[in-house]
């Protein structure tokens, strides 16, 4: 399997644009306005998630059949290598990469993505023939549930920005704060101004400070299980192995009566 982060697109790989915005802007409109040459657009809400609910959160993992059909329609098949990017240091595109890697497919983030690209953009949509992508169940060993997130035996990390973690503000979910015992590792602070990952030694130190070390049982969450995937790829990129994704994340937890912690 290719590494989780690459600096160039391997020959023959499918390039995927996974722009998505929390402020209501359209990722598709951004793609149509200009994207990396040859890239297909992968929609977060229709391909990479099931419909939102209070019980499961804002971005539940999609049904394997629906995920397979969505990728196949874009021309992404079982044997394709996928390299994904966005315009936010990979924090959105990481969702697709983590999903594919969890299923055993070759996939990676394009380090820097649009922020580091200085060439001409395309506005046309590439035509790819429909492919065959075989549905596979989400592997249980790569996932955590709400009880795992509450378990103090696990190293639980929160990928949201610091103000949301502290509970200073919360414009998206019903309650402010974080899961008690969680440690804040903002995904957007793992990349530099050009959207590229920090040097590995710096990244390792940052993760270690939060308790992420080799052999630790790490549970990663965020608002809805999207930027949490970026932390999981960072953990792998730093050489600490594989953590687990809590897909419901704060958007599920905050709909329950479980306690919420505030402060740093």
Catalytic machinery residues? 222
**Distance of alpha carbon 14 from alpha carbon 107, whole angstroms:** 9
Tokens in use for 91? Answer: 């924090």
- Reading across the β-sheet that carries 40-41, which strands appear in turn? 5-6, 107-110, 82-85, 14-17, 40-41
Tell how strand 155-158 and strand 218-221 pair up: parallel
Closest by CA to 233, choosing from 117, 84, 118, 77, is 84
Cα separations in angstroms, 109 against 12, 51, 70, 84: 15, 25, 19, 5
- Which residues, 6 or more positions from 198, have their beta carbon under 8 angstroms from its beta carbon? 190, 191, 192, 206
Tokens in use for 150? Answer: 């509450």
Tokens in use for 58? Answer: 């804002």
On the CB side of 152, CA atoms within 13 Å amount to: 2
């Amino acid at each position: 399997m290719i590494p989780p982060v690459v600096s160039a697109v391997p020959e023959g790989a499918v390039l995927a644009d996974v722009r998505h915005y929390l402020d209501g802007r359209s990722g598709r409109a951004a793609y149509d306005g200009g994207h990396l040459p040859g890239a297909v657009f992968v929609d977060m809400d229709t391909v990479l998630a099931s419909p939102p609910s209070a019980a499961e959160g804002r971005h539940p993992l999609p049904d394997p059949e629906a995920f397979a059909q969505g990728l196949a329609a874009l021309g992404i098949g079982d044997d394709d290598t996928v390299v994904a990017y966005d315009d936010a240091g990979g924090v959105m595109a990481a969702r697709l990469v983590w999903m594919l890697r969890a299923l055993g497919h070759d996939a990676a983030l394009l380090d820097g993505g649009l922020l580091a690209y200085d060439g001409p953009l395309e506005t046309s949509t590439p035509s790819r023939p429909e492919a065959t992508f075989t549905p596979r169940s989400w592997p249980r060993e790569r996932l955590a549930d709400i009880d795992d997130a509450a378990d103090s035996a696990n190293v639980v990390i929160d990928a949201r920005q610091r103000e949301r973690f502290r509970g200073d503000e919360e414009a998206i979910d019903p309650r402010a704060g974080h899961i008690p015992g969680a440690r804040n590792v903002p995904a957007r602070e793992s990349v530099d101004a050009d959207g590229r990952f920090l040097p590995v030694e710096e990244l390792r130190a940052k993760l270690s400070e939060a308790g992420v070390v080799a052999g630790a049982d790490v549970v990663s969450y965020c608002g809805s299980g999207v930027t949490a995937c970026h932390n999981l790829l960072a953990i792998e990129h730093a050489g600490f192995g594989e953590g687990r994704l809590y897909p419901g994340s704060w958007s599920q937890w905050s709909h329950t009566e479980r306690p919420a912690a505030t402060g740093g």
